[in-house]
Structure 1
Protein backbone atom coordinates (compact mmCIF):
# COMPACT_ATOMS: atom_id res chain seq x y z
CA UNK A 1 0.00 0.00 0.00
CA UNK A 2 1.26 3.46 -0.94
CA UNK A 3 -0.23 6.01 1.49
CA UNK A 4 -0.99 9.32 -0.23
CA UNK A 5 -3.02 11.22 2.38
CA UNK A 6 -4.41 10.77 5.87
CA UNK A 7 -6.31 13.13 8.14
CA UNK A 8 -8.93 13.23 10.88
CA UNK A 9 -11.76 15.55 9.85
CA UNK A 10 -14.65 16.45 12.19
CA UNK A 11 -16.71 13.73 10.50
CA UNK A 12 -14.30 10.90 9.65
CA UNK A 13 -10.78 9.65 9.64
CA UNK A 14 -9.98 9.85 5.91
CA UNK A 15 -7.25 8.00 4.03
CA UNK A 16 -6.22 7.94 0.38
CA UNK A 17 -3.86 5.22 -0.83
CA UNK A 18 -2.80 3.25 -3.89
CA UNK A 19 -2.88 -0.55 -3.99
CA UNK A 20 -2.18 -3.26 -6.56
CA UNK A 21 -5.12 -5.53 -5.69
CA UNK A 22 -8.75 -4.63 -5.00
CA UNK A 23 -11.31 -7.29 -4.08
CA UNK A 24 -9.17 -9.98 -5.70
CA UNK A 25 -8.47 -8.07 -8.92
CA UNK A 26 -4.88 -7.22 -9.82
CA UNK A 27 -4.11 -3.77 -11.16
CA UNK A 28 -3.37 -0.21 -10.04
CA UNK A 29 -6.11 1.23 -7.86
CA UNK A 30 -6.57 4.39 -5.81
CA UNK A 31 -8.87 4.21 -2.79
CA UNK A 32 -10.71 6.71 -0.59
CA UNK A 33 -11.36 5.16 2.81
CA UNK A 34 -13.19 6.41 5.89
CA UNK A 35 -12.93 5.17 9.47
CA UNK A 36 -13.11 1.42 10.16
CA UNK A 37 -11.74 0.47 6.73
CA UNK A 38 -14.94 1.63 5.01
CA UNK A 39 -14.03 2.15 1.35
CA UNK A 40 -16.00 5.10 -0.05
CA UNK A 41 -14.63 5.13 -3.56
CA UNK A 42 -11.99 3.58 -5.77
CA UNK A 43 -10.49 4.38 -9.16
CA UNK A 44 -8.71 2.19 -11.70
CA UNK A 45 -5.60 4.26 -12.42
CA UNK A 46 -5.18 2.57 -15.80
CA UNK A 47 -8.82 3.19 -16.81
CA UNK A 48 -10.10 6.13 -14.74
CA UNK A 49 -13.56 6.24 -16.36
CA UNK A 50 -14.27 2.63 -15.40
CA UNK A 51 -16.82 2.25 -12.60
CA UNK A 52 -15.44 -0.32 -10.20
CA UNK A 53 -18.23 -0.77 -7.65
CA UNK A 54 -21.40 -2.70 -8.39
CA UNK A 55 -23.89 -0.31 -6.79
CA UNK A 56 -23.27 2.72 -9.06
CA UNK A 57 -23.34 0.41 -12.10
CA UNK A 58 -26.70 -0.95 -10.95
CA UNK A 59 -27.99 2.57 -10.26
CA UNK A 60 -26.95 3.72 -13.73
CA UNK A 61 -28.90 0.82 -15.23
CA UNK A 62 -31.98 1.74 -13.17
CA UNK A 63 -31.73 5.37 -14.23
CA UNK A 64 -31.29 4.59 -17.90
CA UNK A 65 -34.02 1.92 -17.90
CA UNK A 66 -36.60 4.22 -16.36
CA UNK A 67 -35.50 7.77 -17.27
CA UNK A 68 -33.13 7.61 -20.25
CA UNK A 69 -33.59 11.31 -21.03
CA UNK A 70 -33.41 12.58 -17.44
CA UNK A 71 -32.01 16.08 -17.00
CA UNK A 72 -31.59 16.89 -13.28
CA UNK A 73 -30.20 14.78 -10.43
CA UNK A 74 -29.58 15.52 -6.76
CA UNK A 75 -26.98 13.41 -4.93
CA UNK A 76 -26.47 13.30 -1.15
CA UNK A 77 -22.96 12.04 -0.40
CA UNK A 78 -20.08 12.80 -2.74
CA UNK A 79 -17.33 10.21 -2.18
CA UNK A 80 -15.04 10.45 -5.21
CA UNK A 81 -17.93 11.73 -7.36
CA UNK A 82 -18.60 8.56 -9.34
CA UNK A 83 -22.22 9.18 -10.39
CA UNK A 84 -21.86 12.93 -10.81
CA UNK A 85 -18.74 12.41 -12.89
CA UNK A 86 -20.44 9.79 -15.06
CA UNK A 87 -23.26 12.22 -15.78
CA UNK A 88 -21.05 15.28 -16.24
CA UNK A 89 -23.15 16.40 -19.23
CA UNK A 90 -26.37 16.45 -17.18
CA UNK A 91 -27.41 18.93 -14.48
CA UNK A 92 -26.30 17.30 -11.24
CA UNK A 93 -26.19 18.93 -7.81
CA UNK A 94 -24.29 17.20 -5.00
CA UNK A 95 -24.54 17.77 -1.24
CA UNK A 96 -21.54 16.74 0.87
CA UNK A 97 -21.12 17.33 4.58
CA UNK A 98 -17.31 17.20 4.64
CA UNK A 99 -15.34 19.73 2.53
CA UNK A 100 -12.21 17.58 2.85
CA UNK A 101 -13.90 14.81 0.86
CA UNK A 102 -14.63 17.22 -1.99
CA UNK A 103 -11.05 18.50 -2.09
CA UNK A 104 -9.67 14.96 -2.11
CA UNK A 105 -11.96 13.98 -4.99
CA UNK A 106 -10.43 16.79 -7.04
CA UNK A 107 -6.81 16.35 -5.94
CA UNK A 108 -6.51 12.57 -6.11
CA UNK A 109 -9.43 11.30 -8.23
CA UNK A 110 -9.69 13.84 -11.04
CA UNK A 111 -13.13 15.23 -10.20
CA UNK A 112 -13.55 18.40 -12.29
CA UNK A 113 -17.14 19.50 -11.71
CA UNK A 114 -18.07 22.56 -9.64
CA UNK A 115 -21.47 21.36 -8.50
CA UNK A 116 -20.95 20.34 -4.86
CA UNK A 117 -22.60 22.25 -2.01
CA UNK A 118 -21.12 21.79 1.46
CA UNK A 119 -23.60 21.06 4.23
CA UNK A 120 -26.30 18.68 5.40
CA UNK A 121 -27.98 17.03 2.41
CA UNK A 122 -31.49 17.24 3.83
CA UNK A 123 -31.16 20.95 4.54
CA UNK A 124 -29.74 21.68 1.09
CA UNK A 125 -32.43 19.61 -0.65
CA UNK A 126 -35.08 21.38 1.43
CA UNK A 127 -34.11 24.68 -0.19
CA UNK A 128 -34.56 23.35 -3.73
CA UNK A 129 -37.70 24.07 -5.78
CA UNK A 130 -40.62 21.65 -5.80
CA UNK A 131 -40.58 19.02 -8.59
CA UNK A 132 -37.13 20.18 -9.66
CA UNK A 133 -35.44 16.77 -10.02
CA UNK A 134 -35.80 13.61 -12.08
CA UNK A 135 -33.69 11.56 -9.68
CA UNK A 136 -32.46 11.80 -6.08
CA UNK A 137 -29.63 9.53 -4.93
CA UNK A 138 -28.82 8.95 -1.26
CA UNK A 139 -25.28 7.64 -0.70
CA UNK A 140 -24.32 9.07 2.69
CA UNK A 141 -22.70 7.28 5.61
CA UNK A 142 -21.17 7.93 9.00
CA UNK A 143 -19.37 5.38 11.17
CA UNK A 144 -22.84 4.47 12.52
CA UNK A 145 -24.39 3.93 9.09
CA UNK A 146 -26.88 6.05 7.15
CA UNK A 147 -27.91 9.08 9.26
CA UNK A 148 -31.36 8.73 10.86
CA UNK A 149 -32.71 11.99 9.43
CA UNK A 150 -32.05 10.67 5.89
CA UNK A 151 -34.21 7.56 6.31
CA UNK A 152 -37.28 9.05 8.01
CA UNK A 153 -40.79 9.52 6.64
CA UNK A 154 -40.54 13.34 6.63
CA UNK A 155 -37.33 13.10 4.59
CA UNK A 156 -38.94 10.75 2.07
CA UNK A 157 -41.93 13.11 1.87
CA UNK A 158 -39.54 15.94 1.05
CA UNK A 159 -37.89 13.82 -1.65
CA UNK A 160 -41.27 13.07 -3.22
CA UNK A 161 -42.06 16.79 -3.30
CA UNK A 162 -38.71 17.63 -4.92
CA UNK A 163 -39.11 14.97 -7.64
CA UNK A 164 -41.21 15.40 -10.75
CA UNK A 165 -44.16 13.05 -11.33
CA UNK A 166 -42.00 10.34 -12.91
CA UNK A 167 -38.99 10.90 -10.62
CA UNK A 168 -37.15 8.24 -8.65
CA UNK A 169 -35.39 8.06 -5.28
CA UNK A 170 -32.51 5.57 -5.01
CA UNK A 171 -30.64 4.68 -1.82
CA UNK A 172 -27.31 2.91 -1.34
CA UNK A 173 -27.46 1.09 2.01
CA UNK A 174 -25.84 -1.70 3.99
CA UNK A 175 -27.85 -4.28 5.92
CA UNK A 176 -28.75 -7.92 6.28
CA UNK A 177 -31.10 -8.11 3.33
CA UNK A 178 -34.56 -9.53 4.00
CA UNK A 179 -33.66 -10.33 7.62
CA UNK A 180 -32.69 -6.83 8.76
CA UNK A 181 -35.15 -4.99 11.01
CA UNK A 182 -33.84 -1.55 10.05
CA UNK A 183 -33.91 -2.32 6.31
CA UNK A 184 -37.50 -3.54 6.67
CA UNK A 185 -38.33 -0.28 8.45
CA UNK A 186 -36.68 1.86 5.75
CA UNK A 187 -38.54 -0.09 3.04
CA UNK A 188 -41.87 0.28 4.86
CA UNK A 189 -41.25 3.98 5.46
CA UNK A 190 -40.40 4.51 1.80
CA UNK A 191 -43.75 2.92 0.96
CA UNK A 192 -45.53 5.66 2.91
CA UNK A 193 -44.54 8.13 0.19
CA UNK A 194 -44.03 6.12 -3.00
CA UNK A 195 -46.47 3.78 -4.73
CA UNK A 196 -43.83 1.53 -6.30
CA UNK A 197 -40.82 0.08 -4.48
CA UNK A 198 -37.91 -2.17 -5.39
CA UNK A 199 -35.17 -3.62 -3.19
CA UNK A 200 -31.96 -5.26 -4.38
CA UNK A 201 -29.00 -6.85 -2.57
CA UNK A 202 -25.62 -8.26 -3.46
CA UNK A 203 -25.23 -11.91 -2.40
CA UNK A 204 -23.51 -12.57 0.91
CA UNK A 205 -22.07 -15.62 2.64
CA UNK A 206 -24.84 -15.99 5.21
CA UNK A 207 -27.99 -14.42 6.62
CA UNK A 208 -26.01 -12.52 9.28
CA UNK A 209 -23.51 -11.01 6.83
CA UNK A 210 -23.74 -7.34 5.89
CA UNK A 211 -24.90 -6.83 2.31
CA UNK A 212 -24.79 -3.86 -0.04
CA UNK A 213 -28.40 -2.96 -0.81
CA UNK A 214 -30.26 -0.58 -3.13
CA UNK A 215 -33.78 0.63 -2.33
CA UNK A 216 -35.83 2.47 -4.95
CA UNK A 217 -39.05 4.46 -4.60
CA UNK A 218 -41.13 5.90 -7.42
CA UNK A 219 -44.73 6.78 -8.22
CA UNK A 220 -44.54 4.94 -11.53
CA UNK A 221 -43.55 1.31 -12.18
CA UNK A 222 -39.81 0.56 -11.87
CA UNK A 223 -38.27 -1.44 -14.69
CA UNK A 224 -34.93 -3.25 -14.83
CA UNK A 225 -33.15 -6.15 -16.49
CA UNK A 226 -31.69 -8.60 -13.99
CA UNK A 227 -28.57 -9.28 -16.06
CA UNK A 228 -27.72 -5.56 -16.07
CA UNK A 229 -27.86 -5.15 -12.26
CA UNK A 230 -24.14 -5.81 -11.66
CA UNK A 231 -24.82 -8.82 -9.45
CA UNK A 232 -27.65 -7.28 -7.41
CA UNK A 233 -30.73 -9.49 -7.12
CA UNK A 234 -34.25 -8.40 -6.23
CA UNK A 235 -35.36 -9.14 -2.68
CA UNK A 236 -38.61 -8.69 -0.74
CA UNK A 237 -38.04 -6.98 2.62
CA UNK A 238 -40.54 -7.73 5.36
CA UNK A 239 -43.00 -5.39 6.99
CA UNK A 240 -41.36 -2.93 9.38
CA UNK A 241 -42.16 0.11 11.47
CA UNK A 242 -42.40 3.65 10.09
CA UNK A 243 -39.34 5.75 10.91
CA UNK A 244 -40.16 9.21 12.29
CA UNK A 245 -37.83 12.10 12.90
CA UNK A 246 -36.33 11.97 16.37
CA UNK A 247 -38.18 14.20 18.76
CA UNK A 248 -41.40 14.14 16.72
CA UNK A 249 -44.66 12.71 17.97
Structure 2
Protein backbone atom coordinates (compact mmCIF):
# COMPACT_ATOMS: atom_id res chain seq x y z
CA UNK A 1 0.00 0.00 0.00
CA UNK A 2 1.22 3.46 -0.91
CA UNK A 3 -0.51 6.28 0.97
CA UNK A 4 -1.08 9.38 -1.13
CA UNK A 5 -3.09 11.41 1.39
CA UNK A 6 -4.24 11.07 4.99
CA UNK A 7 -6.03 13.49 7.30
CA UNK A 8 -8.34 13.33 10.31
CA UNK A 9 -11.35 15.65 9.94
CA UNK A 10 -14.39 16.47 12.04
CA UNK A 11 -16.39 13.49 10.72
CA UNK A 12 -13.79 10.78 10.10
CA UNK A 13 -10.25 10.02 9.06
CA UNK A 14 -9.74 10.14 5.30
CA UNK A 15 -7.05 8.17 3.49
CA UNK A 16 -6.24 7.86 -0.22
CA UNK A 17 -3.88 5.07 -1.16
CA UNK A 18 -2.73 2.96 -4.09
CA UNK A 19 -2.67 -0.83 -3.84
CA UNK A 20 -1.95 -3.80 -6.07
CA UNK A 21 -4.72 -5.90 -4.51
CA UNK A 22 -8.37 -5.03 -3.81
CA UNK A 23 -10.85 -7.54 -2.38
CA UNK A 24 -8.72 -10.43 -3.60
CA UNK A 25 -8.19 -9.05 -7.11
CA UNK A 26 -4.72 -8.24 -8.38
CA UNK A 27 -4.29 -5.02 -10.31
CA UNK A 28 -3.54 -1.32 -10.00
CA UNK A 29 -6.10 0.37 -7.74
CA UNK A 30 -6.64 3.67 -5.94
CA UNK A 31 -8.88 3.74 -2.88
CA UNK A 32 -10.66 6.43 -0.85
CA UNK A 33 -11.04 5.12 2.69
CA UNK A 34 -12.81 6.53 5.73
CA UNK A 35 -12.45 5.47 9.36
CA UNK A 36 -12.44 1.80 10.39
CA UNK A 37 -10.98 0.65 7.08
CA UNK A 38 -14.25 1.48 5.29
CA UNK A 39 -13.52 1.97 1.58
CA UNK A 40 -15.83 4.65 0.16
CA UNK A 41 -14.68 4.42 -3.43
CA UNK A 42 -12.07 2.76 -5.61
CA UNK A 43 -10.75 3.22 -9.12
CA UNK A 44 -9.00 0.80 -11.43
CA UNK A 45 -6.10 2.95 -12.60
CA UNK A 46 -5.77 0.82 -15.74
CA UNK A 47 -9.50 1.11 -16.56
CA UNK A 48 -10.88 4.23 -14.80
CA UNK A 49 -14.43 3.84 -16.13
CA UNK A 50 -14.81 0.37 -14.63
CA UNK A 51 -17.08 0.23 -11.57
CA UNK A 52 -15.33 -1.91 -8.98
CA UNK A 53 -17.72 -2.12 -6.05
CA UNK A 54 -20.85 -4.25 -6.15
CA UNK A 55 -23.32 -1.83 -4.57
CA UNK A 56 -23.10 0.93 -7.21
CA UNK A 57 -23.37 -1.72 -9.94
CA UNK A 58 -26.52 -3.08 -8.29
CA UNK A 59 -27.98 0.41 -7.83
CA UNK A 60 -27.33 1.26 -11.48
CA UNK A 61 -29.15 -1.89 -12.52
CA UNK A 62 -32.14 -1.08 -10.30
CA UNK A 63 -32.41 2.43 -11.72
CA UNK A 64 -32.00 1.42 -15.34
CA UNK A 65 -34.36 -1.55 -15.03
CA UNK A 66 -37.18 0.33 -13.32
CA UNK A 67 -36.96 3.57 -15.32
CA UNK A 68 -34.66 3.28 -18.36
CA UNK A 69 -35.40 6.83 -19.54
CA UNK A 70 -34.92 8.65 -16.23
CA UNK A 71 -33.23 12.04 -16.37
CA UNK A 72 -32.94 13.64 -12.91
CA UNK A 73 -30.94 12.21 -10.03
CA UNK A 74 -30.12 13.59 -6.57
CA UNK A 75 -27.30 11.97 -4.59
CA UNK A 76 -26.46 12.46 -0.91
CA UNK A 77 -22.85 11.42 -0.35
CA UNK A 78 -20.23 11.97 -3.04
CA UNK A 79 -17.34 9.59 -2.36
CA UNK A 80 -15.31 9.55 -5.56
CA UNK A 81 -18.38 10.25 -7.71
CA UNK A 82 -18.80 6.73 -9.12
CA UNK A 83 -22.52 6.81 -9.93
CA UNK A 84 -22.54 10.44 -11.03
CA UNK A 85 -19.59 9.72 -13.32
CA UNK A 86 -21.48 6.81 -14.85
CA UNK A 87 -24.49 9.02 -15.65
CA UNK A 88 -22.75 11.93 -17.36
CA UNK A 89 -25.71 12.20 -19.77
CA UNK A 90 -28.20 12.75 -16.90
CA UNK A 91 -29.03 15.78 -14.76
CA UNK A 92 -27.28 14.93 -11.49
CA UNK A 93 -27.02 17.02 -8.33
CA UNK A 94 -24.88 15.85 -5.40
CA UNK A 95 -24.82 16.96 -1.77
CA UNK A 96 -21.59 16.29 0.12
CA UNK A 97 -20.96 17.42 3.69
CA UNK A 98 -17.16 17.44 3.47
CA UNK A 99 -15.59 19.79 0.93
CA UNK A 100 -12.32 17.87 1.34
CA UNK A 101 -13.96 14.74 -0.12
CA UNK A 102 -14.97 16.74 -3.20
CA UNK A 103 -11.44 18.05 -3.64
CA UNK A 104 -9.93 14.58 -3.26
CA UNK A 105 -12.31 13.16 -5.87
CA UNK A 106 -10.99 15.72 -8.34
CA UNK A 107 -7.32 15.47 -7.39
CA UNK A 108 -6.98 11.70 -7.21
CA UNK A 109 -10.00 10.13 -8.96
CA UNK A 110 -10.49 12.23 -12.11
CA UNK A 111 -13.91 13.61 -11.11
CA UNK A 112 -14.49 16.61 -13.39
CA UNK A 113 -18.17 17.52 -13.20
CA UNK A 114 -19.38 20.75 -11.57
CA UNK A 115 -22.48 19.43 -9.83
CA UNK A 116 -21.54 19.02 -6.15
CA UNK A 117 -22.96 21.27 -3.44
CA UNK A 118 -21.15 21.24 -0.11
CA UNK A 119 -23.51 21.04 2.85
CA UNK A 120 -25.95 18.85 4.73
CA UNK A 121 -27.76 16.61 2.25
CA UNK A 122 -31.12 16.76 3.97
CA UNK A 123 -31.19 20.55 4.10
CA UNK A 124 -30.11 20.84 0.48
CA UNK A 125 -32.75 18.32 -0.62
CA UNK A 126 -35.46 20.12 1.33
CA UNK A 127 -34.68 23.26 -0.70
CA UNK A 128 -35.31 21.49 -4.02
CA UNK A 129 -38.56 21.82 -6.00
CA UNK A 130 -41.28 19.25 -5.39
CA UNK A 131 -41.57 16.27 -7.76
CA UNK A 132 -38.30 17.19 -9.49
CA UNK A 133 -36.33 13.96 -9.29
CA UNK A 134 -36.66 10.48 -10.76
CA UNK A 135 -34.27 8.98 -8.23
CA UNK A 136 -32.70 9.87 -4.91
CA UNK A 137 -29.59 7.96 -3.79
CA UNK A 138 -28.47 8.02 -0.17
CA UNK A 139 -24.85 6.92 0.22
CA UNK A 140 -23.65 8.97 3.17
CA UNK A 141 -21.49 7.71 6.02
CA UNK A 142 -19.63 8.99 9.05
CA UNK A 143 -17.51 6.97 11.45
CA UNK A 144 -20.77 5.92 13.15
CA UNK A 145 -22.53 4.80 9.96
CA UNK A 146 -25.44 6.39 8.10
CA UNK A 147 -26.31 9.75 9.72
CA UNK A 148 -29.45 9.28 11.79
CA UNK A 149 -31.27 12.35 10.45
CA UNK A 150 -31.20 10.69 7.01
CA UNK A 151 -33.15 7.67 8.28
CA UNK A 152 -36.19 9.24 9.98
CA UNK A 153 -39.85 9.31 8.99
CA UNK A 154 -39.62 13.06 8.44
CA UNK A 155 -36.67 12.66 6.09
CA UNK A 156 -38.36 9.94 4.04
CA UNK A 157 -41.51 12.08 3.82
CA UNK A 158 -39.46 15.03 2.53
CA UNK A 159 -37.64 12.75 0.07
CA UNK A 160 -40.92 11.36 -1.29
CA UNK A 161 -42.15 14.92 -1.91
CA UNK A 162 -39.11 15.67 -4.07
CA UNK A 163 -39.63 12.59 -6.26
CA UNK A 164 -41.98 12.47 -9.22
CA UNK A 165 -44.91 10.04 -9.29
CA UNK A 166 -42.69 7.26 -10.67
CA UNK A 167 -39.68 8.13 -8.52
CA UNK A 168 -37.76 6.00 -6.05
CA UNK A 169 -35.19 6.26 -3.27
CA UNK A 170 -32.19 3.92 -3.02
CA UNK A 171 -30.05 3.63 0.11
CA UNK A 172 -26.68 2.02 0.71
CA UNK A 173 -26.41 1.11 4.39
CA UNK A 174 -24.25 -1.23 6.43
CA UNK A 175 -25.97 -3.91 8.49
CA UNK A 176 -26.16 -7.57 9.48
CA UNK A 177 -28.76 -8.77 7.01
CA UNK A 178 -32.20 -9.75 8.20
CA UNK A 179 -31.29 -9.80 11.91
CA UNK A 180 -30.09 -6.24 12.31
CA UNK A 181 -32.23 -4.14 14.66
CA UNK A 182 -31.25 -0.76 13.19
CA UNK A 183 -31.61 -1.92 9.61
CA UNK A 184 -35.06 -3.34 10.43
CA UNK A 185 -36.03 0.02 11.89
CA UNK A 186 -34.81 1.92 8.82
CA UNK A 187 -36.74 -0.44 6.55
CA UNK A 188 -39.91 -0.16 8.63
CA UNK A 189 -39.64 3.63 8.63
CA UNK A 190 -39.06 3.67 4.87
CA UNK A 191 -42.06 1.36 4.33
CA UNK A 192 -44.27 3.85 6.11
CA UNK A 193 -43.66 6.45 3.41
CA UNK A 194 -43.33 4.32 0.27
CA UNK A 195 -45.94 1.82 -0.95
CA UNK A 196 -43.35 -0.60 -2.32
CA UNK A 197 -39.97 -1.51 -0.89
CA UNK A 198 -37.22 -4.01 -1.64
CA UNK A 199 -34.16 -4.95 0.40
CA UNK A 200 -30.99 -6.61 -0.86
CA UNK A 201 -27.92 -7.89 0.96
CA UNK A 202 -24.47 -8.55 -0.44
CA UNK A 203 -23.39 -11.98 0.70
CA UNK A 204 -19.86 -11.52 1.98
CA UNK A 205 -19.03 -15.06 3.02
CA UNK A 206 -18.07 -13.84 6.47
CA UNK A 207 -19.63 -14.49 9.85
CA UNK A 208 -23.32 -13.79 10.40
CA UNK A 209 -22.52 -10.85 12.68
CA UNK A 210 -20.25 -9.13 10.13
CA UNK A 211 -21.43 -5.85 8.66
CA UNK A 212 -22.48 -6.11 5.01
CA UNK A 213 -23.67 -3.77 2.29
CA UNK A 214 -27.46 -3.56 2.22
CA UNK A 215 -29.48 -1.74 -0.43
CA UNK A 216 -32.95 -0.50 0.49
CA UNK A 217 -35.28 0.82 -2.21
CA UNK A 218 -38.63 2.56 -1.82
CA UNK A 219 -41.03 3.51 -4.60
CA UNK A 220 -44.65 4.39 -5.32
CA UNK A 221 -44.85 1.54 -7.83
CA UNK A 222 -43.71 -2.11 -7.89
CA UNK A 223 -39.93 -2.63 -8.05
CA UNK A 224 -38.38 -5.06 -10.50
CA UNK A 225 -34.89 -6.45 -10.95
CA UNK A 226 -32.91 -9.22 -12.63
CA UNK A 227 -30.95 -11.24 -10.09
CA UNK A 228 -28.05 -11.93 -12.47
CA UNK A 229 -27.51 -8.17 -12.79
CA UNK A 230 -27.44 -7.51 -9.04
CA UNK A 231 -23.67 -7.98 -8.63
CA UNK A 232 -24.01 -10.59 -5.90
CA UNK A 233 -26.86 -8.96 -3.97
CA UNK A 234 -29.78 -11.17 -3.02
CA UNK A 235 -33.23 -10.11 -1.84
CA UNK A 236 -33.91 -10.31 1.89
CA UNK A 237 -37.00 -9.76 4.06
CA UNK A 238 -36.19 -7.47 7.00
CA UNK A 239 -38.04 -7.93 10.23
CA UNK A 240 -40.42 -5.46 11.82
CA UNK A 241 -38.70 -2.56 13.54
CA UNK A 242 -39.59 0.68 15.26
CA UNK A 243 -40.35 3.96 13.47
CA UNK A 244 -37.39 6.35 13.60
CA UNK A 245 -38.49 9.94 14.18
CA UNK A 246 -36.69 13.26 14.41
CA UNK A 247 -37.97 13.73 17.93
CA UNK A 248 -36.57 10.46 19.30
TM-score (norm 1): 0.98
1:110-189 map, 5 Å: 110-189=110-189
Aligned to 2:142, the other structure's residue is in SS state: coil
* 1:237 matches 2:211: no
CA distance in 2, matches of 1:243, 1:63: 26
Shift of 1:77: 0.2
Q: Is the Cα–Cα contact under 8 Å of residues 179 and 207 in structure 1 kept in the other structure?
A: no
Q: Which runs of 4+ in 1 moved over 2 A?
A: 204-207
Aligned to 1:6, the other structure's residue is in SS state: strand
CA-to-aligned-CA distance 1:1-44 (integer Å, 9 cap, x gap)? 11111112222211111000001100000000111211110000
Partner of 1:246: 247
Aligned to 1:3, the other structure's residue is in SS state: strand
CA distance in 2, matches of 1:166, 1:201: 24
Partner of 1:81: 81
CA distance in 2, matches of 1:59, 1:194: 18
Q: Is the Cα–Cα contact under 8 Å of residues 201 and 233 in structure 1 kept in the other structure?
A: yes
* 1:47 matches 2:30: no
Q: Is the Cα–Cα contact under 8 Å of residues 202 and 213 in structure 1 kept in the other structure?
A: yes
Q: Is the Cα–Cα contact under 8 Å of residues 20 and 29 in structure 1 kept in the other structure?
A: yes
Shift of 1:63: 0.3
CA-to-aligned-CA distance 1:193-227 (integer Å, 9 cap, x gap)? 00000000011323212111000000001010011
Shift of 1:62: 0.2
Shift of 1:86: 0.4
Shift of 1:188: 0.5
Give the superposed CA RMSD: 0.8
Q: Is the Cα–Cα contact under 8 Å of residues 156 and 193 in structure 1 kept in the other structure?
A: yes
Partner of 1:102: 102
Partner of 2:200: 200
Query: Which runs of no fewer than 5 residues in structure 2 stay unpaired?
Result: none
Aligned to 1:61, the other structure's residue is in SS state: helix
Query: Which runs of no fewer than 5 residues in structure 1 stay unpaired?
Result: none
Q: State the aligned residue count.
A: 247
CA distance in 1, matches of 2:98, 2:198: 30
CA distance in 2, matches of 1:4, 1:207: 34
Shift of 1:89: 1.2
* 1:17 matches 2:17: yes
TM-score (norm 2): 0.98
